[in-house]
Structure 1
Amino acid sequence: MPHLAGIRLVAFDLDGTLIDSLPDLAVAVDAMLLELDMPAAGEAKVGGWVGNGSHKLIERALHDALGEMPDDARLTAAHERFLDYYAEAPSARTRVYPGVHEALAALRERGVIVTLITNKPQAFIAPILESLALAGYFDLTLGGDSLPRKKPDPAPLLHVAEHFGVAPQHCLMVGDSRHDIDAGKRAGFHTLAVPYGYNHGEPVSTSRPGAMVESLAQLV
């Protein structure tokens, strides 16, 4: 595929790119809100809040429920309860998008280094990948708390490129949101977007990715 010409390493986002995790995230957010005597948000709202890590997700949920920014103590406590609820069943309703298994397998067969860079906490990555039969595809995974900075900062991408000794111009960032595309551009990676994920209600095309595909099956 022309998208992979000269590419030696591919970094994938997780939520909204490889998996539809919104149902499980929304269940955990709503459980946390209800415990705090706040109205449930529902999937539609939660989908607009996903993308910057769990801490920002809960900050947005509380801001919406309270009509103002929560103080640090309230946010910390709510975030901890969200993590507890999410840990109970992080992939019960989560599904792999069509074409993902085929694309990851094809990249591995070609000898391309396959990595995962997500803003989801690291502790959830392995259980989710294992339960969805995705764990065996990745040479390295990074969560939002694996390094001091996360996407859209380019640091995680540059870390992966340096770890494998691959120059950024031979790397590709694949994601569904402006945070993925911005991080890729700032790191000097090529960028590829999918249109079906979570991007705060905006078309990811507005971030001007290097290319777009309707399905990752197009990488096969």
Structure 2
Amino acid sequence: MVDIGARRYWVFDLDGTLTRPVHDFAHIRAELELAPNCDILDSLALLPSPQREHKMALLDRLELFYAEKTQPAADVVGLLDALFQRNDRLGILTRNSQPVALQALEVIGARRYFLKEDVLGRDEARPKPDPHGIELLLERWSAKPEEAVMVGDFRYDLEAGRSCGTATVHVDHGTHQPWPELTDLRVTSLTQLLEIL
């Protein structure tokens, strides 16, 4: 059993983990003229230039629209504050752009817990499930994977953490399928994670 509470380096997914899900991915795919249920970033990466750049700019605008509407997950500030008071290091790894992530953190009242350079978006690191972003944060923090935790609501988050060798926490909000082979700790909310800590 992994002792999550003993770890001092925390990497969080953003959408659906620290925030309540507000993205309408069907609408985003329709606006981008992509196939239903496709991986948006993978699909855009396959497009030729300049079509790819045009659609990435549109994606940025759509994500910023949703960032303005984002709502905090229950107890997000309580959890982050508890970790911050312990002097733990906190980072974000998101498939959004960094400016969108910073705006969303501002909207939910959590911006103060993260250094800008510790908020990695798709332009700062290869997108999850690639563990590249976690590796970059751990290198910056001079931390080892066995000292760190990846917290997320989707399998890409858990796959990235597992590939890197960190502990993994699945925040499933009671709505997602479990991925026990990728998960060290499964919680239904950040409130439950805060209670465990």
- TM-score (norm: length of structure 2): 0.80
Query: How far has the Cα of 1:115 moved from its partner?
Result: 1.1
The 1:113/1:180 distance shift into structure 2, 3 A limit, reads: same
What amino acid is aligned across from residue 87 of structure 2 in structure 1?
G
Task: Using the TM superposition, name which of 22-31 and 128-137 deviates more.
Answer: 22-31
1: CA distance, partners of 2:25 / 2:70: 9
Could you list the per-position Cα deviations for residues 73-109 of structure 1 after superposition, in whole angstroms to 9, with x for gaps in the alignment? 545433332323443x233332111121111111111
Match of 1:106 in 2: 82
Query: How far has the Cα of 1:112 moved from its partner?
Result: 1.3
Match of 1:13 in 2: 13
The 1:75/1:162 distance shift into structure 2, 3 A limit, reads: closer
What amino acid is aligned across from residue 80 of structure 2 in structure 1?
L
2: CA distance, partners of 1:100 / 1:192: 15
| Within-5 A mapping of 1:42-191 | 55-56=41-42, 71-72=47-48, 74-87=51-64, 89-139=65-115, 140-147=118-125, 149-191=126-168
The 1:165/1:181 distance shift into structure 2, 3 A limit, reads: same
Question: Over aligned residue pairs, what C-alpha RMSD do you find?
Answer: 2.9
What amino acid is aligned across from residue 106 of structure 1 in structure 2?
A
Say which SS state the counterpart of residue 109 (structure 2) adopts.
coil
Kindly name which structure, 1 or 2, has the bigger radius of gyration based on alpha carbons.
Answer: 1
Query: How far has the Cα of 1:190 moved from its partner?
Result: 0.6
The answer to whether the 8 A contact 1:8-1:113 is kept is: yes
What amino acid is aligned across from residue 146 of structure 1 in structure 2?
E
The answer to whether the 8 A contact 1:182-1:207 is kept is: no
2: CA distance, partners of 1:32 / 1:158: 31
The answer to whether the 8 A contact 1:29-1:82 is kept is: no
1: CA distance, partners of 2:30 / 2:100: 19
The answer to whether the 8 A contact 2:148-2:167 is kept is: yes
The answer to whether the 8 A contact 2:174-2:188 is kept is: no
The 1:107/1:58 distance shift into structure 2, 3 A limit, reads: same
Size of the alignment, in residue pairs? Answer: 190
The 1:180/1:133 distance shift into structure 2, 3 A limit, reads: same
Identical residues among aligned pairs (%): 26
2: CA distance, partners of 1:185 / 1:25: 26
Could you list the per-position Cα deviations for residues 33-77 of structure 1 after superposition, in whole angstroms to 9, with x for gaps in the alignment? 5xxxx9xx9xxx6xx55xx6x534768xxxxxxxxxx85354543
- TM-score (norm: length of structure 1): 0.73
The 1:204/1:121 distance shift into structure 2, 3 A limit, reads: farther
Say which SS state the counterpart of residue 130 (structure 2) adopts.
coil
